[in-house]
Amino acid sequence: MAVARYIKDEKDQILDVILESGIHVKPVYTPKDLDRIGFDYEKDLADPGNYPYTRGIHPLGYRSRAWTTRQYTGFGTPEETNERFKLMIAHGQTGLNVAFDLPTQMGYDSDHPMAEGEVGRVGMAVDTLRDFEIAFKDIRMDKIGVGLTINAVATIILAMYQAVAEKYGFDAKTISATPQNDILKEMIGRGAWIFPVEPAIKLVGDTIEYSMSVMPRTNPVSVCGYHIRESGATPAQEIAYAILIANAYIDNVLSRGHDIDAFVGRFSFNLNVFGNMWEQIAKFRAARKLWARNLKERYNVKNPQNLFLRGLFGGGGYGLTKAQPENNIMRGAYYALVAALSGAQTTALCSYDEAYTIPTPRSAILSLRTLQLLMDEMGLRDTVDPLAGSYFIETLTKEMEKKIEEEMEKIIEYGGIVKAVSSGYIQRLVAKQAYEIEKGLESGELLKVGVNIYTDNEGAMEVELHEYNYASAEKQIKALKEVKRERSEREVVRTLRELEDAVKKDKNVMPYLVECCKAYATLGEMTDVFRQVYGEFREPPLF
């Protein structure tokens, strides 16, 4: 939701604007504001492509390369998802971002009692390598990057992705996958966690370590401030927590004896765009600067390219509304504009009907066309960082930088991000803020078009719903049974035992998971090995 607070007088004149991160916006900005904040061009801005990368990581911006369009895609069976992949690619999409159903996210096979009624509902159902063989059939895996929106079982899904690529003749060193793989944000923002904090972080470290040599084009973790923001965090907190979470993963891999320049350049971020336009732009510019400074000063990263904050800026799902859903088309266009003005490398939009349902082909293509229109019609590729030098934007970026640092310091003083998540400290804070936002929307203190201002009495607009397909679920379960009948049980047992031994001996689990996948062990069988050794995370009380 756009939660900037507008203080007005009885004549509706704005007396004050308070952004969500606590920054007060002045009515007019002048060169005196740059003097007030101690603005220094080389230190705070610099040329595009130069440290601290406030203006972007490429010297020529979008002139040298257009942003990747990667709409979130996947539902029902692998066959249905493969069909949607091909539809989006045929319409000019340049990357894939795979949605998985809840049973897959939670490590349950489609025939598990916990999966009943959820198979294929909010994403693609995945049980074995056979499902990936179907989903990625005829996809040039060496040419198109694939995001895998999975977290608790990211090790398994990444191993499955490698196995299917090799089965289709692609060298693992040539494929580019980006598993979300950010378990700490799951514990803060979404709840799709399985294992306790420490072993969960260890599994993230396994994917990073393994990718260094086996899948060097893979981005083994996509630190996801996006969902933390959707759960009630301010823009400043979104970036602060994302950087601290990334540091926790870095520290795990460093503890294994690796040089930071060997792996940190493949870190990526998934960040949110909804809210006040200027605050979001300042957030992304400040984030690039702070991430680069964090790596250079805290970790002594030497390769300049490893200092880049690379990521997907997009989505904005929390900003969409069920009321007057066609307004979400305009919201999405502005979110795309924010991402482009902020220097995103990759962008994806939530489609206008996502407050109701899985996007229809029409709405998904409309979102894709929105991104393409900005790229090829509206001049967003003309010049790098067109807002640079604005008294307002530069002042706001500097103030946002300070707010992010303040939020980071609060967590450091508490005892660090791992302790703050394990104890539920951040979860309680974010949940309380989300509650206050909802109260503000109900009272009208926070303005939302179609919700509490500019409402109408025309009744709800009809939206084409993606009805749950029980036949697809039955088909998926039938296919799983067929795989179990056809596979070699001896190989399944052998590979699962080797995986269990590796887990108990604290080895890197990735090569063992690849072998399990090739033997057609199920996702649930592999996850159960981890459950038996690690146990499950017990969420601390939040209220």
Residue 335 corresponds to which tokens in the numbers above? 């979110």
pTM of the model: 0.95
Over the stretch 10-51, which tens digit does the pLDDT of each residue have? 999 999 999 999 999 999 999 999 999 999 999 999 999 999
Tell me, what's the pLDDT at 207?
98
pLDDT at 1: 47
| Nearest residue to 333 (alpha-carbon basis) of 379, 374, 277 | 374
What is the structure's pLDDT at 225? 95
- C-alpha to C-alpha distance for 149 and 123, rounded to whole angstroms: 10
Domain annotation for the chain: domains and CATH numbers = 5-443 (3.20.20.240), 472-534 (no CATH)
pLDDT < 70: residue spans in the chain: 1-2, 457-461, 464-466
CA dihedral over 315, 320, 322, 325, signed as positive or negative = negative
pLDDT, tens only, 43-86? 999 999 999 999 999 999 999 988 888 888 888 899 999 999 99
**Cα dihedral sign, 167-168-174-175:** negative
Contact residues for 102 (Cβ-Cβ < 8 A; gap 6+): 115, 118, 121, 122, 123, 192
